Every structure is written in C-alpha cells, then in structure tokens.
Structure 1
Amino acid sequence: MAHERKHYCFIFFFLFLLSIVFAPLSRADNDTQILLRFKNSLSDAGALQNWDESINICSWTGLLCKDDKLHGLKLENMGLSGTIDIDILSELSILNSFSVINNNFEGPMPEFKKLERLRGLFLSNNKFSGQIHDDAFVGMRRLKRVFLAENEFSGHIPSSLAQLPRLLDVDLHGNRFDGTIPEFENSDFRVFDLSNNQLEGSIPKSLSNVDPSAFAGNKRLCGKPLSNPCSNNEQPTPQNDNKTNKHRTLIIIIIIVVIVVILVLILALFIIIKRRRKAKNPNQLVEAANASKPQSSVAVSSDEAKMATSMEARASIEPSISIETKSIDVAATEAEAATALLSIQSVEDGGGGHGGGGGGGEDFNFVREDREVFDLQYLLRASAEVLGSGSFGSTYKAMIHSGQVVVVKRFKNMNKLGKQEFFEHMRRLGRLTHPNVLPLVAFYYGKEEKLLVYDFVQNGSLASHLHGKRSLALDWPTRLKIIKGVARGLAYLYKEFPDQKLPHGHLKSSNVLLDHAYKPLLTEYQLVPAINKSHAQQFMAAFKSPEASQHDSPGDKTDVWCLGILILELLTGRFPADYVRHGKGASEELETWVKSIVSGEVIDKDMVGGSNGQGEMLKMLRVGMGCCEWNEGSRLEWKEALAMIEEVKEKDNMEDESSGFSEWDLSFYSETL
C-alpha cells in the first residue's frame, strides 16, 4: 500500500514538472495566434510583414520582449489604420505597454480600461476624436504613462485619468479638451503638458508648481503658475460647473440691474442740477460760455502744433529695435540659464511701429493663421530666458501674457533683401507645412535687426542630446527615426524651393530640434537668401562644403553633404568640432574628420547596446559616406539619399545578421576623400 502511494506521488510530481516546462511554450503559441488575429483587424499593415508564426514573436517588428517574453507593442511610424481590437489584445498573456504613435487611427478612443495591467499608453499623433468617457481609465491602477497628444479629442478631461494613483507622465497637448482641469491625485509629474487645448478656469493648486508652458495656448486659464490671476468669478471647480454657471448668470443679471438703476439716478441728478443752475443765473452761464470760446481755440491750436512737430520728428528718424537682457536672480550654484526681460528702445520715443499689421507694430507680422495673435509690445515686455547666443545673434524663450511659449531669434546681419522682398520671403516660409519642419510663426522687420518667432520645442536640439548637458544614450531606433525625419524634411524643402541651390543652407545637429517623442524638426532653414553674403560665407554650414571652399560658391548637392555630416555624427557620436570653425579652413579640417571615421572605431557604443541592427547601421553609414563624397559630381542626389535612407530598418534581416563592418571595403571612399 505504501509502495502504491509513492508511485502515485511520483506520477503527480512528474506531471507538475511537465506543466512548468510546457506552459510558457503554450502561452507563446497562444500569443502568436492572438497577435496574428490582431494584425488582421488593422489596415495598411504592410510594415508588419514579418509577423509570421514560423519565427519567434520576439523577432517580429514592433514587439517588445523581456527575457524572451512579450511585454509590449511599439507600432510607431508605420502608417497603420483600421480598428484597434481591445478584446483581442485582452487575451494576451502580458501587455504592459501599447504604442501607436504617429499612425492614421481615427474615431473614438478604444476601451483600453479592459487592459487593466497596462502601464504605458501612447496614442499621440493620430486622428482620434470625440469625447473620452469619464470612466475611460477606471481600474487601470498600474498605468503610469499616458500620451494622447496631437489628436482631435474634445470634451472634459476624464476624472478617472486624474484619479490614477501611479501616474507620472501626462501629455494631452494639441487637442480640443475644454472645461476645467480636474484635481490630479498625483502632483509630482515627470512629464505634464495640457497646452494648446480649450481649457478654462483656475488651475488647481496642486499643479501650481508645474512649468507654465504646460498650460500655454489655453486662453481662458488663470492662476498660478500663469502670470494672470483669477478673479472671483473665474474660479469654477470641476464638480460644481453647473452650479457655478447658474450663480454667475444670476450675479450678472443683478449687476446689470444695479448699473442701470445707478445710471438712471445719475442722469436724473444731473438734469436736476442743470435746471437749478439755469434758474439761478442764466446770464452768467451765457457769458461764461462766450468767454470760453477763444481759450478753447488757442488750446486746440497748441495741441495740433505739438502733434505736427511730433509726427515730423517721427517721420525723420528711423527707429531701431534692440533687446536688452536684465539679470533677475541667479542661483547660488551657477547660472546655467540667464533670465531676461525683452524691452524695446528707439532713437525717439516709442519706436517699432504702432500700426496694425497682424498683431501690433506695422513691421510685426504673423504668417500663420493657426496661432494666437499677440501684440509686439507684449512680446517685448515678456519675461524671457536666454537659450543661447551665436554668430547670428541671441535666442530667447519668451512666455506671453496668455501663457503661450515661443522662441524669438534675433538677427543682426539679415539685410540682404529689401523690405518688400523680405516680407514676401517670410510669408513664403510661413506657408510651409511638414511634420519635420518647424514652422515660422511671426517676424519683425527693423532696419538693423530682425526677429523671427517660432514655436517652443521642449526637448531641445539634437546636438545637446549627443554632446551637451542633455546628453542621453540614444538607441539605434531613435537615431534611425531622427535621420529619416531629417531626410524627409530636407526633401520637402528641396521640393518647395526648386529655384534655390540651398533649400536649407544651415543644416547641422544644433539646428535639428526634438519634440517629446524625439521627432526631429528642422529650423534655421532658408536663411541664406536673407543673410548678408559675407556673414553667410563666414558662419553658415553650407559654406564649409568642399565646393564652397574651392569655388566660393555652394552647389546643388551642398545640403546633401551637410546631411551626410549629420548622419556620420549621429552614427559615431563624434562631434565635428571644425564644423563650427569660421572661415574657409574649416572645410579642409572636416575632410580629416571624415577620414578619421573610416579608419577608427565607427559605430557609437552608446547606440549599439543590445541591438541586432548592426548590419542596418552599416547600411546607413554607407549612405552617410555617399553623401559626404568630396567630389560633388560623385555625391548622391537628394532623391537617391532619401530612397536609400528609407530602406534602412531597425533590425537586420535574418540572412544579413552575420554581415560585419570588416566585409565593407572602405578604400574607395578613402581614396576619393
């Protein structure tokens, strides 16, 4: 009997071991079938061609795995559309993160609350629309990151989102959310952005320490951290909106009635006093009236003379605009960012134009209709932070009274075009629209100085991430995304300016800005037509190219050469120090820099990490070298470069995994450089 019990125990123990061994395999097979069903619910899913049950799912495009187990989907920049079937996704064994940033999904937000284990939800840059139900995030207590930016959501911010206990990142900018901001359970955020919506009322006290730029573009918000305080009737609470509106309407009616009664009483009192005066001494009033006529005439003549003199003075003196920086309080450690106040000065009182012209100042013009218009004086009086000072002038981050945050670039050597030509060129720039080109918002024209106004981009420049204090280890997928975005933006400029040799003219890593999702935005483009020629030759990136150094003139492929330098900088992590040198000598030094890439360790160690895309990195390196051909005739055309860049992928193909750098013969490039 005891022997039989031992036998049964052994059988149960053996079955238990089998369940442990084969359970993960069955779950993996099950996840494979679930994901293939999910793929079938999508449209335009060509980017998911390698979703094949014959290979391990951790090799599939867009899948995030840990310890060879699925833990997230990262389906970004794939042109996907169709239906996100939450019921299918809920069948997966584990799903901690879900991202479809920069695709073409539209309609209402799916019921993600069914995915209770989700920790990160990324839906930015799609076409989702409509109201989000108030209970849309109920039960998602593990959710830490929510990115819904640049969609078309409307209605109130759901209270269930504000009540999430572990929330660290919230980005809802660029939608049409309205109403008041709910009280968030957590107030210590890493990322918080509600800018460019239609929110109103007072900002909750728990958010008073958030950066003011997080509320920019919401015209009817008030209270800290914004500079405009709330009046008593501008402080509704989210729970009592209806009661507040009723009380507000009643108060307005009472105020109107009181004002009307007061006006009637004042009018009646005035009539009574006037009649009594006439009754007392009518002759005295007539004499006083007659005596006042010549004095009034003299006063008017004096004022007209002063006005005429003032107008003559203003017509004869050309006002000049300058921006002064005034130090505020510098921290005891070190002044990493100087704060300043923008103020206007003129040779005579109140220069800079006082007419209309698109938002204040006859020479201050807005070139985009989708931005809030503000007066020049508001801009010049706004508190500002100095972002940098370079060869062209200074750059400021300024917050307007409404909370809108802009970047103001001040140029001193931009006198190549006449006033009318300058206006036409700026308006042409204002019409540009591309996801990878930072749009010009407004400009100011002065005789000696010009101001260009752009949107503020929170993540700073690419150069600061590669080499500066923002330095962060950018992985290969992120760098590939940046290179592709830069190439697409440059291609767009080539198409928009077929009459220009230099559609950009100043392409370098410090002129590539990164948004919150590390999408690149080109800036300081198309300045060559406006910058003084001698200044452009001394400082602009295009004039450090081989052809500009040899023939004093850039060519049709010069911007491609600048793109190649940028690609090499991104792939190697090396800063082309001579790129910022002034004068012709910089070109020869850059030749040495490019050759050093061929002979030394090539790929940036910070980029490689655990990536299996080294073969694709080398493909991109070939493209960069092809763009950097010293002989312009042998250099890639911009269309060729773009096509080759678009073919590069994040991961190597299975058959290419063994390819290495040693198999690539660089002698041809070494000889031609």
Structure 2
Amino acid sequence: MVMGTHIARLVRTPNLSLLIVLLSLLQFVFMSNGEDSDILNLLTFKDSLTNPSSLSNWNASVQPCNGDRANWIGVLCVGSKIWGLQLENMGLGGMVNIEILDAVPTLRIISLMNNNFEGEIPEIKKLGELKALYLSNNRFTGDIPDNAFQGMRSLRNLFLANNAFTGTIPTSLATLPKLSVVKLEGNRFVGRIPEFKQNVKVVNLANNFLEGPIPASLSRMTASMFEGNKNLCGPPLQNCTMSMASPAPSPSPVPSASATASASPQLPPVYKKTTSALQIALIVMSILLFLVLIAVAIFIFSKRKRKCGKGSYGDDSYKLRTSNVDQDKVKASESGQGVTKRPVDYSKLIFMKGDADRFDLHDLLRASAEVLGSGNFGASYKAVLANGEAVVVKRYKQMNNVGREEFHEHMRRLGRLNHDNLLPLEAYYYRKEEKLLVSHFLEDGSLASHLHGNHSLDKPSLNWRTRLKIVKGVAKGLTYLYHELPTLIVPHGHLKSSNVLLNENFEAVLCDYALRPVINQEQAHMHMTAYKSPEQAINGRINRKTDVWCLGIVILEILTGKFPENYLTPSYDSNTNLATWVNGMVKEKRTSEVFDVEMSGTKNSKGEMINLLKIGLSCCEDDPETRPELKEAVREIEELKDRDKQESAIGEVNAIISGRRRTRSGSFSSFNR
C-alpha cells in the first residue's frame, strides 16, 4: 500500500529524471510516428507547468492539428504540423522546460506572455530554428548569458519586456542576421547598448539602467524606445557630454533579483545520482500504469467517436457547455416569466431583431455542438438547435474593455447593421467574465479554408471568376462599415481570410467586425490583424488606412494562394509580409509565378489579374500616406471586369447576330424586337 501511494505520487509529480526516462522508453515502446511523439512531448510539457487547467483540452486521443486548424488550445498549426505555442494570459507558471520543446522539430513560435513563469531565462539557443520568442510580462530574473542567442540565425522577434532580467544586454543578440523586433523594456539591464549589426526595425530598451551613447545603428528609433534610462545619450536623445560618454561604474546589482534567482529551486541534473533498484522498479511500474491509462483513454475516446459520429468540422461532437455561466441564476431569471413586457433582463440571451422566441440560453446549452476552432479570443462552436437551426456561438473571455452599458450599446449598434456582405449578429449573452456572440452558420466555411484546405471534388479550388467576386464582396462590406461606423478608427479591425465567410453562392460575408472597442486592449494589440500593420510596429498606432492594408493582404492571399505568415506573429515583420514576397517576385520579372497554380479560368483574364495584383500591392504600402483611400481602392476594384464572362457574353451576342443575318429577312428587325 505504501509503495502504491509512492508510485501514484511519482506519477502525479514526476521529477525530471523520471520524466526523461519515461519519455524515452514510451517513445521506444509505442510511438509509431512523429505526430504521436509531438503529442507526448506537449503533454509532458503541460505536466511540467503549474496551474495548467487552461490546457484542459490537450488530450492524447485527439491530434493537436487538423490542417491549419488547431484542436488544442494555444497551438498554432500549419499543414497539420505544430508551428507554434501561444499560451498567453493563462496563469501558467513554473520553469520553461526547453529540453521537451526541443523535441518538437517543427516548432517555430513560442509565446508565453502574461503568465507567471519564473527563474532564469531558459537555454533558448537549443531551439536553433525558432523564429519568434515572446516571454514578456512574466517573473523571469537573473543575468542573461552573453552567448544566450548564439546560432539562432532564424530568430526574428524577441519579446522579454517587463520581467526582472539583470546584467548587460547579451552581444550574441546583436549579431543575429534576421532579427527585426526586440522588446527589452521594463527590466534591470545595465551597461552599454551593443552595436546591432543587422537592420532591426524596432528595439525598445525603455525603463532600464542602461548608460553611455546610443549606437549609431539605433539612432533612427524614436526617443520613447530609450526613455527611463537616465544615463543614455546621443540621437534620438540629447547629445553626449564628455562625462556621459566616458565609461561609468556599473550600478550595484539589485539584491532582490539576484537573491530571488539564487533562492529559486533548481531542477536536479539528469542522472546525478546512481539509479537504485527501487527507482528502476518504480520507473517500470510507472510505465505500465501510464500505458494502462492511455489504453483506457483511447478506448473511451473511440467509443465516444463511434457513438457521436464524425462532424463536418472535426471529430469532436459534444454538448456546448459554458462552465462560467451561472445556470441557477439563469433559471431563476426565466422562472415566472409572464406575457406582459418587462425591462430587458441582461442575464438572458439578448436578440438583435426581437425574435427571442426562437430559442433561449438553455436551448444553446442543450444543443449538440461541434468545435469549429479555438482562436486567439476564445472558442467557436456550431450548435444545432432542436428545431434544426444551426448557429455559431463564439465565446469571448477578453471583453472587459468597457462597462456593461457601453457594451450593450455597442452590441445594439452592431445589431442595426444590415448588408449582404456582413454576417448579422443574431444575439448575445453578457456576463462580466465572458460573453457569447451568436450568428447564423454558413455551411461553406471561410475563405481561408477554401484557399488553404485540401481540395476535392466536393470542395474544388476557387476559380478566377469566383475569386474576383469575393474580392468585390469584401470591398463592398468594408465600404458599408466605413459609412455606418465613421467614429471607429478601424471599422473592421480584424480583416483576414478566416474572417471572410462564403455563402452558398460564394459571396463574401464578413464576420468578427467592429469588435476592437470592446476587446481588452492588450489582447487587441496581440491578436487583431490591425495591430500587425507596419504603422503599429513603427509608430505604435493604427489609423483609418489600416483596414486598407488588411484588404491588400487579403487580395494578395486570394491571388497567390499563399498563407500570410505575418498572421502568426504578434507584430508586423517585413520578412513575413506577403507583399514583400510579391514585390520581390515582380522586381525579378517573375510575376507569372506569383498567381496560385490551382486557380482555373484565367485564360482570358491575365490583364485583370495583373491589375488586381497592383491594387493589392498599393494597399500594402508600408507608409499609410502612400496607400489609396478605401473608396479609391474600392472604385478600382469595381472597375475590374471578368474577361471570361465578358468574352462569353460577346460570343453569345455575335452568334445571335450571325444567325439573324443568315435569315432571309436579312435585317436586325427581329433581333431588335
């Protein structure tokens, strides 16, 4: 009994040695491919964290990725491969186990911002192919070794802001060839700033203890990037005097940071002590117990899968449940409801068009539901009601930016919008901790799924005529938003291919529009496409032409069939900007290679395709001043003609005319009639 208790304790809280041995043996025993290995690695990483309750849907019986769609919260997928981890604002803590993440070969982005991770910076250089690392707003402490980033030739974005790092800025950081954005503000760095040898776009070093002259390579940055460092000088700050330019003694280390770092418990080295016979027995028994648990989980999952059947959006089909909804309160509010009209009860589902008799909150909670995806702001579900109606329920937890009345007023404002190219908001549910937005479900899915999904006879690739129609529909919907919501800086703010739905006629229908005013600012800055624009990265602000930039990216994505890699990063990166690639191809006189090879119906439309490409590129200019106004871009789009359709119509008219001429009457009188 004592041994069994000890084994259970080891399984619940394994030390690093047991975890690594268990990982190796399990991979040898039953791992058949790389995907299974990735699953085990991520589950092991989850077990190494404190407070991992936010990762509750990380399940060994479900693949993390399905194409470009993630089945696991916080996982970024590209082509069914694990491309990144975006585990932000989840209350996670502990130390970051790089050894486990290093075992996921396709991992390129790691974002652990706004959590409670602590200790010294992980040995990041082991992840040599990493493109972006975001560790801002945690509790990391201690000096960063000078060679911490040595060999990371793919690293583009590094966010370490608002921690408690000490010591000097590592010189290895200043030599990385692709580095573009560096955010080190809000730490305790001392000494001089190294000379950055690459062409970095943004280096934020504000609020540290840095001193001496600012290197010439960073002199073009704005002054705000260096504020809060009393002993820095040189452009863009004040000129250096002799005393400021000369080396000064470094301030004494901050005791709290170093003491915290030294007092933090360190993981024991692997195999520091000789493994005893008892430990070997415990390892073997742990493996057997682990295998039994996996077998039970697989059995339960397969049984549930057979029972529920496979849904159109994935293998999971289950009841929509909102754990934070106080159902007793809802029941109390609905009990005793009479025929007479009463003031609006905000604890219930609120309908935009006054058709509250269609269904209520309990109908949604009882409905059979499928997970459509887990986005940056929350999960989306397809709920099929008892009457057969299908709706989409989007659950938001990051909508506390405004008060209750302001939120209701903004929802009513959205409810009044009415346009063929906008997805109407059907209803919403308000609660301080979370919000539900309900809209109609469109069977044909998003533009992104059609462009980047697996094509088949049932879902072929979009032809040129359809793509042009979609672009025109997006432009019309955007124009309507600008007309109806003139007070918003960005009337859409989150325009991307996954937020462009297609109806049964392949008309574009915009969704997730005009939500910026009610989404928490830190979340908007991290995840909304408007904040991935050049002006936000360079000047720290967005403007009325930011939606134009997003429109340009959508146009280029439609024409090229390429997924915009910059959507995967929290900020603008010219190296991942789709427009940068297209411009490069045009300059090399390889324009014909730009267009999607799967796009059919282009035989007589090359000129119009080139013209649309030019419009897309003009919308994607880095400088907003050189971009066209939205109405100008829309006018140019509307002027584009479908040459295939035009040629067909001309051919039909010519055929009719020829037939009339062959008649004995020999005139156009019958045709004119």
Q: TM class, shorter-chain normalised?
A: 0.3 to 0.5
Q: Which has the higher contact order (CA 8 A, sep 6+)?
A: 2
Higher CA-based Rg: 1
TM-score normalised by structure 1 residue count: 0.46
TM-score normalised by structure 2 residue count: 0.46
